[in-house]
Structure 1
């Protein structure tokens, strides 16, 4: 290593990409202690883990688990080609082996981080290579329960679903400290999952299988649909002559304060604007100008109705009548 060159950890690289808005450090500059082979504190006492899938979630979990003292035994690619190339890159950074689904998985814990539509197929393809009493198989789907891992259970593994209530996008690696993880499945797998989540700094919460779909809908409201709402606000900003880029920058202070108010005071005490004041005329004018943007207008009406249902407001009867006449 050239004199004076700094050795970056995976966490530092991802943090720079997240928060400094400068040109991201190349992953090739990461010198991971002889390709990540150095043992971190506590590794010898913790079970080894195989990560299946090298997307946003699998990559983030691999780094987080290693930093929490777990040994990443292997990174499993679903196929050869680009998937295997990504698996090799992640394996090099975490001191693991890169394997395809048909290869033997030697870890004590198998964690499937593939898309929901791929979980069942991955469980079948890995069942012959991951077997034996005392082994644990996990998946991170919010929508499916542990039953989707039945092929692995039949081979002797205890199974569970472990879903973090967090968003994972390319180029970002959020902290898992304080993140809620919904856990459901076999008792032995749930015990193992709780220990892992706590070691990651998260908060494990048991959930029943029949609650998973509602839980996933809740999470969809909390992040993906919230992002859809923000995209909708950019369309409304355009009516005011504000570009999408400028709108995003100028909205951040009010968005962050709104989230802070919600977290500190709750929804009712954190609510403000024309509806809580019962300002019928302002809402009428909003609906008129939004005729130029039909989809944002429908969203406005739907959210205004939700506000009248769940939040404090004056002149409810008049506002409801106005929204009904808007035909949203």
Structure 2
């Protein structure tokens, strides 16, 4: 057994050893969070440079707590996190299940899937679960604790669920427990993607529309437009913290100003038909919210 290590982030997970498969944005975030809270982290990725990058990041905030290993060394670990693309989860579950000593607990971090995709590990006696951070994690991030205080969708067999809850608690996070069945996992993930990805797409359309109205050209216009709209978003977020969604809604749809809305649609149609379609699609939802404010 490895000797005890200094614990810079608390002892909540001090006796835990977790293998992380995949060293992208999600794997990096979990490696940092687990190591800061005392866990030993073992890393593997098909890309060795990704492992080195995560090791460097962990070394800066929790020296000595992470190491790169071969995939075969995940056998017998307390737990393994599969932080990989959706289409790789099943393949890696089968590889772990074929190990002479499969890990005690295995989670995946894919929002779309339930735990059924880990069935090969359940068949050999492993506890399986889901541990998905409901956070936008960019590939380029300099945060030392990107998962701290976050929300996590969890689920799984008894031991896997209990250990996931322990990790969420150590992260000072909150848990979401879905209804059973694949439909719940897909609806959860659709809601997350609609807000996170849809928000960025909506911002892009809004920035381009505003930039066309400014007495500036090119990149300078878009930069100023984005800065201005981000200020607007901050005020909207502040409203949502203290009000219902309906009461936080402002603008012509909320006021029932039909002539103004028609003018918006005409202006957008002239410069960006896709933005006009977005406005039309969101209009009935905004109208409903305004009626029940």
Compute the TM-score of the two structures, normalised by the length of structure 2. 0.85
Q: CA deviation at 1:106?
A: 4.6
| Distance change in 2, residues 1:98/1:287 (3 Å) | same
Instruction: Note closer, same or farther for the CA distance 1:231–1:130 as it changes in structure 2 (3 Å cut).
Output: farther
Report whether the alignment pairs 1:273 with 2:246. no
Which residue, out of 231, 239, 254, partners 1:253?
231
2:50 paired with 1:86: yes
- The Cα of 1:244 is off from its aligned counterpart by 1.8
- Paired residues in the alignment total 272
Cα 1:313/1:295, change in 2 over 3 Å: farther
Give the corresponding residue for 2:71: 101
Q: 1:237 aligns with which of 210, 213, 221?
A: 210
1:226 to 183, 188, 199: 199
- d(CA) in 2 for partners of 1:58 and 1:71? 14
Q: How far apart are the structure 1 equivalents of 2:292 and 2:151? A: 32
Taking the TM superposition and a 5 Å limit, the aligned residue runs for 1:59-208 are: 59-72=28-41, 74-77=42-45, 79=46, 83-91=47-55, 93-94=58-59, 95-129=65-99, 131-132=101-102, 135-172=104-141, 173=143, 175-208=146-179
Going from structure 1 to structure 2, the CA distance change for 1:287 and 1:53 (only over 3 Å counts) comes to: same
CA distance in 2, matches of 1:84, 1:282: 56
Higher RCO (CA 8 Å, separation ≥ 6 residues): 2
Are the aligned partners of 1:278 and 1:313 in contact in 2 as well (CA < 8 Å)? no
Q: What is the CA distance between 1:96 and its match in structure 2?
A: 2.5
The offset of 1:214, in angstroms, is 0.8
> Deviation of residue 43 (structure 1)?
7.0
- What's the CA shift string for 1:66-109, capped at 9, x where partnerless? 1122111x1011x2xxx112113323535323234344445211
1:136-193 Cα offsets, whole Å, 9 max, x none, are 1011111100111112222321000111111100222464343221111111110110
8 Å contact from structure 1 (residues 47, 108) kept in 2: yes
Supply the RMSD in Å over aligned alpha carbons.
2.2
Alpha-carbon separation, structure 2, partners of 1:115 and 1:45: 29
Where does the alignment leave 5 or more consecutive residues of structure 1 unmatched? 1-36, 315-328
Structure 1 residue 308 displacement after superposition? 1.6
Question: Equivalent residue for 1:285?
Answer: 263
- Relative to the length of structure 1, the TM-score reads 0.77
| Contact in 1 for aligned 2:255/2:290 (Cα 8 Å) | no
| Contact map agreement 1:131 1:156 (CA 8 A) in 2 | no
The Cα offsets for residues 197-234 of structure 1, whole Å up to 9 and x where unpaired, read as: 11011112321332111111111122111111111111
